[in-house]
Amino acid sequence: MGSGKRGLLTAALTVICAVTVLSAPGTAFAAVEPARTPPSTPAPTATPAPSKDLEEVRAKLDKLYHDAAVATDAYNAAEEKAKKQSAEIVALAKKIVEGRQKLEKLKDQAGAAARDQYRTGGLSDTARFLLSDDPGQFLDGAGRMLQGQQAAKKLMTEKARTQQELQQYADDAAARWEELEANRKAKDAAKKKIEKQIDAAEKLQSRLEKKEKERLAELEREAAAKAQTAWLDTGALQGVHGKASSRGEMAVKYATRQLGKPYVWGAEGPDSFDCSGLTSQAWAAAGHPVPRTSQEQWKQLRRVDVKDMRPGDLIIYFDDASHVGMYIGDGAIIHAPRPGRTVTIAGAGSMPILGVVRPDA
């Protein structure tokens, strides 16, 4: 392998050592306790901004945090791919090192054969065979000649095969390197989008007065409660009495222990989580790993009807599968909502449901 390939391997190994998991992603909705009826609105004590204006603010915040959640899923997906590609480059680098050692050994064997030929006066076994007039030496030479020819052919075949393998390993490493670079750029782009959306949301909220913030939080709770009530009124939970599997129970217990921990985009615990970081780690703790992102959980895991769901199942939200929560029974989920919130219990119907998936189907 040429100096270009050696440079590639050196660079690849350098990148592997430099690959680090950046901190954290998320979702975009307020955490609420499951409820059938929205709480009554307290009498105003001051003159907060009109509800209509705050509703517009709430809608704007929902969109900003939703867009951040979508970018977070893209970031997490790129991160997972980068981890896989890094591991593949490391494995290829090891194969290349082993192949080079094998090739050097084969070269040494070929050199030894050449030196032996030099010591015998430069005559090959074939030449000595043809010049021999002794029947015994003739037969002995014939056997040695055949063995020598077979050994030389085997040596050259093995050497050529090893060289081809080295070239293939180098080409594969180069391809993985390009993919790694592409995913690094994808991660950077997603990270910038996440930060932009969150920064815009924080600036929007910072312009509100204290009473406006309190009223905004109330509107968020009312909206979630209204959505939950409407979902329950459809009869969605009628006949839903599924019992958790043993692994499902373990996953729910893990998620429950995380209650109160902050949402951080890209985080997988133990101190903070994003939505899919929480669900993936819960099922990993249950001994059944699932995809890292909510979108891949939706794509890869078996889908079940809402009427058949049981505790431990994952509920995927929004048309783009940008959020996920874990069903814990009685119409409730545990989820990591969005930046500025903590892992909490919410109504399973407080957000638009895309579908339900079962990790241990």
Q: Measured between alpha carbons, how far apart are the two ends of the chain, in Å?
A: 48
pLDDT confidence of 279, banded at 50, 70, 90? very high
pLDDT confidence of 348, banded at 50, 70, 90? very high
Q: Show Cβ contacts of residue 12 under 8 Å, excluding neighbours closer than 6 positions.
A: 89, 92, 93, 173, 176, 177
Q: Show Cβ contacts of residue 27 under 8 Å, excluding neighbours closer than 6 positions.
A: 65, 66, 69, 72, 263, 274, 275, 294, 317, 322, 323, 324, 335, 336, 337, 338
In angstroms, the CA 193 to CA 181 distance is: 19
DSSP lists the bridge partners of residue 329 as: 332
Residue-level pLDDT at 355: 97
Please provide the DSSP assignment of 208-263 as one string: S-HHHHHHHHHHHHHHHHHHHHHHHHTTTTTT--PPPPHHHHHHHHHHHHTTTPBB
Q: Three-state DSSP class for 264?
A: coil
Looking at the chain, the whole-number percentage of residues with pLDDT higher than 70 is 73
pLDDT, one tens digit per residue, over 261-274 is 999 999 999 999 99
Residue-level pLDDT at 340: 92
Q: Report the amino acid identity of residue 225.
A: A
Residue 343 has pLDDT above 60, yes or no: yes
pLDDT, one tens digit per residue, over 228-265 is 999 999 998 887 888 999 999 999 999 999 999 999 99
Active site amino acids? 275, 323, 335
In angstroms, the CA 324 to CA 28 distance is: 11
Residue 310 has pLDDT above 60, yes or no: yes
Mean pLDDT throughout 76-94?
84
| Range of weakest confidence among 108-112, 144-148, 176-180, 224-228 | 144-148
Residue-level pLDDT at 14: 41
In angstroms, the CA 249 to CA 329 distance is: 11
